[in-house]
Amino acid sequence: MTETVIDVIDLKKIYRTDQVETHALAGVDLAVKRGEYVAVTGPSGCGKSTLMAILGLLDDPSAGVYRLAGQDAAHLRERDRAIFRNRHIGFVFQAFNLIGDLSVAENVALPLIYRGGIAKAARDERVAAILSDIGMAHRAQHYPAQLSGGQQQRVAIARALVTEPDIILADEPTGNLDSKAGEAVMALLEDLNTNKGATILMVTHDLHYARRARRIVRLSDGQVVDESFGEAVVALHKEDDHLPGAV
């Protein structure tokens, strides 16, 4: 049986201010198996960022179960979070978040340095291989400011992948890119999923990009209201009467 990487059961997040209580997540159930590529989509305010922050261990849920790679991830102590994140998660942000005064190769090597226990020669080898995989080997000694937005996001994806995480969490990865660069990033994510077995969960408000994933989960008012399959799956199974159509 395929291993479940992310297992979320009845996840709730309530924001309390003096006057109001906002149920940002009102009981989300979501399972992501190894090798899946899932897009989470939905209208503004439906809870996408809140869900991503919890899955990325940046915030705690108010209630519910969150298991990551089979371990309880909902109640980690502060000092365990960074270690857990480094070990299991690769994060791709909308704003790339590369470090400006480090070269491309140095940016990609950072998660391996944080992990520790990996000799420099092994790190260099791993970084070179991953930059080659994503077509950025020729930019290894460049600095982020010398790259286009699309290239910076490719480097950020390499940085997320370098530790071979259980899951890539991509938060609006095309949000700061024009459509051509956005398409290139989407093609890279698809390739990593199809050919390298990367497990990906991407949040996007853009249905056009959500459809490029294999499975689409729609949130509304903090709950999963619909699940369907992306274009690649629908094209593959278009003869299959039992498969729900693409959104």
User: For binding to ligand ATP (CB under 6 A), which residues are involved?
Assistant: 15, 17, 22, 24, 42, 44-50, 205
Say what angle helices 120-133 and 104-115 make with each other, to 10 degrees: 130
Nearer to ligand ATP, 23 or 87 (CB): 23
For residue 244, the 8-state DSSP code is P
Pairing type for strands 167-171 and 200-203 reads parallel
Q: How far apart are CA 90 and CA 37, in angstroms?
A: 14
Nearer to ligand ATP, 183 or 206 (CB): 206
Please report how close the Cβ of residue 18 comes to ligand ATP at its closest, in angstroms. Answer: 11
Nearer to ligand ATP, 2 or 44 (CB): 44
Nearest Cα residue to 58 out of 97, 20, 31, 29: 97
Please report how close the Cβ of residue 17 comes to ligand ATP at its closest, in angstroms. Answer: 6
Looking at residue 87, its amino acid is R
Nearer to ligand ATP, 15 or 114 (CB): 15
Please report how close the Cβ of residue 113 comes to ligand ATP at its closest, in angstroms. Answer: 31
Please report how close the Cβ of residue 209 comes to ligand ATP at its closest, in angstroms. Answer: 13
Q: How far apart are CA 112 and CA 185, in angstroms?
A: 23
